[in-house]
Amino acid sequence: MSTITRTWKVNGKPIKVRAPAGRRLLDYLRDDLGLIGAKEGCGEGECGACTVLIDNEPMVSCIVPVGQLADGTEILTIEGVEKKRAGRLLQQAYLECGAVQCGFCIPGMIISSYALLPKNPKPPTQAIRPPLSGNLCRCTG
Amino acid sequence: MKTTEKINIRFPQTLAEALRLQARKNTRGTLLAGGTDLMVQWASGTPPPARATSLWNLPELCEIEVRDDDILIGAGVTHAFLGEAKPIHRHLPALIAAAATVGAIQIQARGTLGGNAANASPAGDTAPALLITGGDVLLASLDGTREVPLDEFWTGYRQIAARPDEIILAFRLPKKGSAKERFRKIGARKAQAISKIMAASRIRVRSGRILSAAIALGSVAPTPIRLTQVEALLTGQALTPSLVAQAEKLAQTSVKPIADIRSSAEYRRWVAGRLVRDALENL
Ligand SMILES: Cc1cc2nc3c(=O)[nH]c(=O)nc-3n(C[C@H](O)[C@H](O)[C@H](O)COP(=O)(O)OP(=O)(O)OC[C@H]3O[C@@H](n4cnc5c(N)ncnc54)[C@H](O)[C@@H]3O)c2cc1C
Ligand code: FES
Ligand code: FES
């Protein structure tokens, strides 16, 4: 085991990280920081329920070892996204469209949607599919 | 405690430092790039190693250099970065298309070209697209850098020509020039699906005659392969419907795929031929 110390920004707040280098980011967020919005569906990178933004890019936190995230890394989880205007609008839109059933996949879905908007502010349906294709919903199939 | 927490991971800041770690048996670690293969293997039962050497974001591995006839792509370049590297797209369109089919965006943001090649899965999507360029792999060690032709890089099922003290530095890939490239992946769905079979081709035609042909398939053999017999059949010939039919047949009889959870041998053999036809009909 090797222990790392790092300084990151998580949801805008500076955080001092001390953890085993191989700890999964998902575990660090949920168990050490209490940010339980990111969910563990598969633990193997397939389902997208654990998606968070790392330096603005969506990544699956269940297969990222914390040691690989350098000082200064910015992480945004659903708890941070829901405080942003675009995040709130997305949550509302998901509700109004009846997109939510059990809700387990939704934090990941919203993060991937949120990441798409700066690149493509008014995406047509066809442009939404590829960036959301790494998020699986068990309820809708 | 999750199994990966037990690993002693080193984070060299330079390639030289990484090479020094890998040179000695008692400091050498499993090379860990984006971890999209390794972290999954360790989560699903493969015992993790005692030591790992992280290559993630190592500057020397993340460069792309466009030269007159070829392009050097660092082993640490991610699939997402290839997608954004617009100036190289017209020179290596099959590779760019292949990288865009790896997993989904979350995986492309972490998965690297070097990791895809070194993982050496017969279903690795970028491998056929690398093979058709006729380029080389640059392997670095404390002894220096050597070039291995991509044709000789995959030596057996999940085996590569790199020594334990070597790190893949980059890929040297000749530009396609006037040739036409194509990449087709056949999977269960468009995203997040491991290939049943895939094909890449680089074919140069002038005045209806095939000047050169490079065709590679994945998931039909223990390693990604070039269809050398089909290439020999095509080279120098006029591109006619009967030649296309012959090439399709030869592809079907020359591959020896296996059946596994993703597909049957018959399906793969059949589709191998159809993919060759598809390449020739879209020139
Ligand atoms: C959900 C999911 C979907 C996927 N879908 C696809 C897909 O559609 N197509 C596909 O081809 N793959 C797919 N993969 C596999 C994986 O994403 C790719 O193979 C990726 O390119 C691996 O790169 P990496 O940097 O993450 O490798 P790592 O996991 O870090 O390493 C993989 C192997 O390469 C070695 N290695 C890494 N870098 C070097 C180097 N510079 N020199 C020498 N050895 C090195 C490692 O030691 C290890 O053996 C998928 C994975 C997941 C989790
Ligand atoms: S829990 Fe991370 S992708 Fe499924
Ligand atoms: S709403 Fe249940 S998994 Fe998507």
Residues A115, A130 contacting (CB under 8 angstroms): no
Distance CA A43, CA B39 (A): 9
CB hemisphere CA count around B232 (13 angstroms): 5
The verdict on B273 touching A (C-beta cutoff 8 Å) is: no
Taking the centre of ligand 2 as the mean of its atom positions, its distance from the CA of residue A93, in whole angstroms, is: 24
- What pLDDT does A136 receive? 96
CB-based contact A22 B11, cutoff 8 Å: no
- DSSP, res A112: H
On whether the B184-281 domain is CATH 3.40.50.980, my answer is no
Distance CA A111, CA A90 (A): 9
Three-state DSSP state, A44: coil
Taking the centre of ligand 3 as the mean of its atom positions, its distance from the CA of residue A137, in whole angstroms, is: 5
Three-state DSSP state, A20: strand
Q: Which of B6, B56, B107 sits opposite A68 (nearest CB)?
A: B56
φ, ψ of residue B65 to 5 degrees: the values are -125, 120
Structure tokens at B207: 């005045």
Taking the centre of ligand 2 as the mean of its atom positions, its distance from the CA of residue B269, in whole angstroms, is: 34
- Whole-model pTM: value is 0.97
- What pLDDT does A140 receive? 86
**Which of residues 81 through 120 in chain B touch A, CB cutoff 8 A?**
103-107, 109-110
Going by CA atoms, what residue is nearest to atom 38 of ligand 1? Answer: B115
pLDDT category of residue B192 using cuts at 50, 70 and 90: confident
* Distance in Å, alpha carbon of A94 to nearest chain B alpha carbon: 21
List, for residues B3-48, the tens digit of each pLDDT value. Answer: 999 999 999 999 999 999 999 999 999 999 999 999 999 999 999 9
CB-based contact B104 A70, cutoff 8 Å: no
Query: What is the residue-averaged pLDDT of chain A?
Result: 96
Q: Is the CB of B262 under 6 A from ligand 1?
A: no
Q: Please give the torsion angle defined by the CA atoms of residues B8, B12, B17 and B21, in that order, rounded to the nearest 10 degrees.
A: 10
- What pLDDT does B2 receive? 83
Q: What value does the mean pLDDT take over residues A24-46? A: 98
Q: Which of A45, A59, A134 sits opposite B191 (nearest CB)?
A: A134
CB-based contact A1 B7, cutoff 8 Å: yes
Nearest ligand (C-alpha, residue B9):
1
Nearest ligand (C-alpha, residue A136):
3
CA-closest candidate to residue B140, choices B162, B117, B156: B162
Q: What value does the mean pLDDT take over residues B104-118? A: 98
Q: Which of A4, A44, A58 sits opposite B109 (nearest CB)?
A: A58
Structure tokens at B146: 């050597």
- What pLDDT does A111 receive? 98
What residues flank ligand 3, with Cβ below 6 Å? A 100-105, 137-139
* Distance in Å, alpha carbon of A13 to nearest chain B alpha carbon: 24
Nearest ligand (C-alpha, residue A106):
3
Length of chain B equals: 283
Taking the centre of ligand 1 as the mean of its atom positions, its distance from the CA of residue B9, in whole angstroms, is: 18
Structure tokens at A45: 């990178």
Task: Please report, as a single letter, which amino acid is at residue B184.
Answer: R
- Measured from the Cβ of residue B10, the count of other Cβ atoms closer than 10 Å reads 20
Structure tokens at B233: 């059949």
- What pLDDT does B188 receive? 87
Q: What value does the mean pLDDT take over residues B134-162? A: 98
List, for residues B159-182, the tens digit of each pLDDT value. Answer: 999 999 999 999 999 999 999 999
- What pLDDT does B221 receive? 95
Distance CA B205, CA B227 (A): 18
Percentages of chain A per state (helix, strand, coil), in multiples of 5:
35, 20, 45
Going by CA atoms, what residue is nearest to atom 4 of ligand 3? Answer: A137
| Complete DSSP assignment for chain B | --GGGGSEEE--SSHHHHHHHHHSTTT--EEESS-TTHHHHHHTTPPPPSEEEE-TT-GGGS-EEE-SSEEEEETT-BHHHHHH-HHHHTTSHHHHHHHTTSS-HHHHTT-BHHHHHHHT-TT-THHHHHHTTT-EEEEEETTEEEEEEGGGTEEETTEES--TT-EEEEEEEE--TT-EEEEEEE-SSSSS---SEEEEEEEEEETTEEEEEEEEEESSSSS-EE-HHHHHHHTT-B--HHHHHHHHHHHHHH------SS--HHHHHHHHHHHHHHHHHT-
CB-based contact B35 A60, cutoff 8 Å: no
- What pLDDT does B191 receive? 81
- Asked if residue B139 has pLDDT above 90, the reply is yes
- Measured from the Cβ of residue B221, the count of other Cβ atoms closer than 10 Å reads 16
CB-based contact B106 A58, cutoff 8 Å: yes
Distance CA A93, CA A75 (A): 24
- Asked if residue B1 has pLDDT above 80, the reply is no
The verdict on A113 touching B (C-beta cutoff 8 Å) is: no
Q: What value does the mean pLDDT take over residues B132-137? A: 98
Which domains are present in chain A?
Answer: 3-132 (3.10.20.30)
| Percentage of the residues of chain B whose pLDDT score is greater than 70 | 100
Task: Please report, as a single letter, which amino acid is at residue B46.
Answer: T
List, for residues B197-254, the tens digit of each pLDDT value. Answer: 999 999 999 999 999 999 999 999 999 999 999 999 999 999 999 999 999 999 999 9
* Distance in Å, alpha carbon of B33 to nearest chain A alpha carbon: 9
Three-state DSSP state, A54: strand
Closest chain A residue to B56, measured at CA: A68
Query: What is the residue-averaged pLDDT of chain B?
Result: 97
**Based on the number of CB atoms within 10 Å of its own CB, is B108 exposed (0-12), middle (13-18) or buried (19 or more)?**
buried
**Range in B70-74, B100-104, B237-241, B259-263 with the lowest mean pLDDT:** B259-263
CA-closest candidate to residue A52, choices A114, A8, A95, A103: A114
CB-based contact A130 B105, cutoff 8 Å: yes
CB-based contact A60 B106, cutoff 8 Å: yes
Residues A55, A69 contacting (CB under 8 angstroms): no
Three-state DSSP state, A46: coil
List, for residues A69-81, the tens digit of each pLDDT value. Answer: 999 999 999 999 9
Q: Which of chain B's residues have a Cβ under 8 Å away from the Cβ of A76?
A: none
CB-based contact B43 A65, cutoff 8 Å: no
pLDDT category of residue A124 using cuts at 50, 70 and 90: very high
CATH of domain B62-174: 3.30.465.10
